[in-house]
Amino acid sequence: MGRRKKWTFSAWYSTAVTITMFLLIIPFISILIYFPVEYQGYYFLTWLILSFFLPLVLLYYWRRFRENRSIIRKSVIKDYRNSLQDLSPYEFEDAIAMLFKSQGYRNVKKTPSSRDYGADIIMEDKKTKYVVEVKKYAKNNLVGRPLLQKLQGASDYYRATGMKFVTLGYYSNEAVNYAKKSNIHLIDGDELVSMFKKVLK
């Protein structure tokens, strides 16, 4: 499916003008029927001016509304990310484990803190056993390919067929390409925040 086209200002404005003129057509017809002929020109001019400027006013407040909504959304995302960043690594792993439990995964268990063989969490759904590696990296830190290779080794050790990697940061291009070839589900900071938002609604 193709990406939806982003509307330009001219497209928004022409649409608003069309809607406004349609809404004002009844008053315009009333002018032609009920007002004296000598005043119809003035009222027609007023109608044209309203048709031109009213959409501008509506568009202005609509854009202000969208900008404010965007600012609020970014603020909420920032608060979620900061709250997760303030957790200790063990608390962060606990939070991720509870997140997957709330999503319906079963037998969600944390691996031993030492000798985890490259996975922090083991869990299942109806058909698949998963290994999950969790890294509480900062926003500007990238997860590289070697950590994904360790996760793949953990899947062999725990006899799992599904793999997930979770981080508050992001992934290097090399890691993304490796994950695609190895069928590893990468969850970065943005997706993780969205997952928590859905669960905590």
SS3 of 122-181:
EEECCCCEEEEEEECCCCCCEECHHHHHHHHHHHHHCCCCEEEEEECCEECHHHHHHHHH
The token pair that represents 115 in the structure block: 């000798």
Q: How confident is the model at residue 72 (pLDDT cuts 50, 70, 90)?
A: very low
Region 118-130: mean pLDDT is: 92
Region 49-61: mean pLDDT is: 68
Is residue 54 located within the same domain as residue 121? no
* pLDDT(94) > 80: yes
- Residue 4 resides in a domain: no
The more confidently predicted of residues 82 and 16 is 82
User: Who's near 164: CB < 8 A, 6+ residues apart?
Assistant: 130, 131, 132, 133, 184, 185, 186, 187
Region 37-45: mean pLDDT is: 63
The more confidently predicted of residues 35 and 187 is 187
Identify the top-confidence range among 14-18, 32-36, 44-48, 139-143: 139-143
Q: Among 21, 51, 85, which residue terminates a domain? A: 85
- Residue 3 resides in a domain: no
Q: How many domains does the chain have?
A: 2
Domain that holds residue 107: 89-199
Is residue 110 located within the same domain as residue 150? yes
- Residue 144 resides in a domain: yes
Report d(CA 2, CA 4) in Å as an integer. Answer: 6
Is residue 41 located within the same domain as residue 81? yes
In terms of DSSP bridges, do strands 121-124 and 184-187 run parallel, antiparallel, or are they unpaired?
A: unpaired
Q: Look at residue 86 in the predicted model and tell me its pLDDT.
A: 85
Region 104-125: mean pLDDT is: 88
Is residue 125 located within the same domain as residue 186? yes
**Residue 133: CATH number of its domain:** 3.40.1350.10
Q: Among 85, 107, 122, which residue terminates a domain? A: 85
- Residue 2 resides in a domain: no
- Residue 94 resides in a domain: yes
In percent, the amount of the chain with pLDDT more than 70 equals 61
Whose structure tokens read 């969208």?
66
